[in-house]
Structure 1
């Protein structure tokens, strides 16, 4: 009968081998998880571009609130913008005078 060195070793050696194998398995599992994390980070997700017709929305806003004959009255303007139309235009004019960024397009 052939003797197996594992069976003939002492119990402390068996425990050491068991713990060494457990550590190796745990290290393998951690490495696999890290590989999964890295592969998920390398995926580039692109956002879908939706045409919102910003120019058309701007024209509608100007026509509805700021034209000579606005669609909505002063009470509705105050409810939507939380200030009077006169105050809003005064603030807009002051900002346009301070910085070119705020020049009125309408």
Structure 2
């Protein structure tokens, strides 16, 4: 076999292989976009989480005294409330809104409690769900927005 015929055969084989590769991967891309699985909605009773936080620490007669709050949150209630108020003024995302069917969304205390617990204890975002009733993705979003807002609000005053 001469060299020219061998090169022609090889180039034909390479073209076939490249063509098959492209067809295979374009089919995978199309089929993978069609096979996306929708996450199942989990009713977390976010109102119960908000009521639990309120009754435990912020009600006129709270379940736990102030020194429990300090120990669990690593800050005083006054400092926590100051942070909450400044966040509410600075970033509309931290205000309580209503969802599409008119239910109250997560309260500011829930969002901040989720973040403070993550920061104070170093717990994973999905661990917050049982007490605060916030899912993992929302807890992560709270942490991101909280940190960026805190830097914007208190950066020059407190951070070096």
- Please tell me the TM-score bracket, short chain as reference: 0.5 to 0.7
| Match status 1:27 vs 2:27 | no
* Separation in structure 1 between the aligned mates of residue 30 and residue 47 of structure 2, nearest angstrom: 42
Higher relative contact order (CA 8 A, sep 6+): 2
Q: Spell out structure 1 runs of 4+ moving beyond 6 A.
A: none
* Larger Rg, first or second structure (1 or 2): 1
Runs of at least 5 residues in structure 1 that lack an aligned partner in the other structure? 1-9
Tell me which of 14, 39, 43 is aligned to 1:51: 43
| Count of residue pairs brought into register by the alignment | 95
* Separation in structure 1 between the aligned mates of residue 34 and residue 86 of structure 2, nearest angstrom: 48
TM-score normalised by L of structure 1? 0.65
TM-score normalised by L of structure 2? 0.47
* Separation in structure 1 between the aligned mates of residue 26 and residue 86 of structure 2, nearest angstrom: 56
Question: 1:92 Cα deviation (Å)?
Answer: 4.2
2:7 maps to what in 1?
16
Question: 1:27 Cα deviation (Å)?
Answer: 1.9
| Match status 1:72 vs 2:97 | no
What is the root-mean-square deviation of aligned Cα atoms in Å? Answer: 3.1
Show CA shifts across 1:50-92 (max 9, x none). 0110001101110111122211122220122222123333454
